[in-house]
Amino acid sequence: MDPHAVLGLEPGASPEAVQRAYRGLAKRFHPDRAGEAAGEMMISINAAYDLLRDRLEEEHGARVTTTAGGGSVAGTAPLRIAGDWLAPEVRRVLARELLATLEDGEAVDEVVLTSTGDSHDVQLALTDRRLLWLRDDALMGRVRYLRYRDVAGVEARSGGRLRRHGHLRVHTTAGRRLRFFELRPEVLGRLQAVISARTTPAGG
């Protein structure tokens, strides 16, 4: 799982850049400003920040501080944890509503923050079975998905010479077209590769 993608950072970002990105997103998605519905996105932002901070400290001895974090809950629970087959770092980053929507044993390949034509705040997950996304600023129909067998094609569109971000265009067999915006070129490439591999005749 790439916490850089969740925070909208370039790979190899400095500790200072990590702090700036986190603070900007924390302000944007704080429940006091964005409402309680933004809480799900804030959980993912905190988790990605914690992962990246730990990685920086382990690999480079960089010290990154914060006043908020995801944190783990101590103790054991008698009930099964949603997505308990996933790696802990994936579970921490994935929004709770997406975790609850996963089918038993469904693997998660990518998790990124993006936007769509009808929602500015979207968490997109690519699993081994489908595209699954949470429209965090929507009141109804917050979680949506598209199975790979219903994908007719996928394109990565660059933002042009003056823009660093592009968008992913997904064509469905029903004739619909989905677009996911504000994605960095390397993230676009990864997403396109995953979807293309899953939509070959052997997949689905």
- Domain architecture of the chain: domains with CATH: 3-198 (2.30.29.30)
- Tell me how far apart the alpha carbons of residues 166 and 181 are, in angstroms, rounded to a whole number: 6
Strand partners, 111: 125
Whole-prediction pTM: 0.63
Cβ–Cβ < 8 Å for 183, 191: yes
Which pLDDT tens digit goes with each residue over 182-202?
998 999 999 999 999 998 765
* Torsion angles phi and psi, residue 32, rounded to 5: -65, -30
Which pLDDT tens digit goes with each residue over 103-156?
999 999 999 999 998 888 999 999 999 999 999 887 678 899 999 999 999 999
b/e per residue, 106-115, with b = 16+ CB within 10 A?
Answer: bebbbbbbbb
Mean pLDDT confidence for 1-5: 77
- Tell me how far apart the alpha carbons of residues 160 and 179 are, in angstroms, rounded to a whole number: 16
Between 7 and 168, where is the model more confident?
A: 168
Cβ–Cβ < 8 Å for 204, 149: yes
Mean pLDDT confidence for 53-70: 55
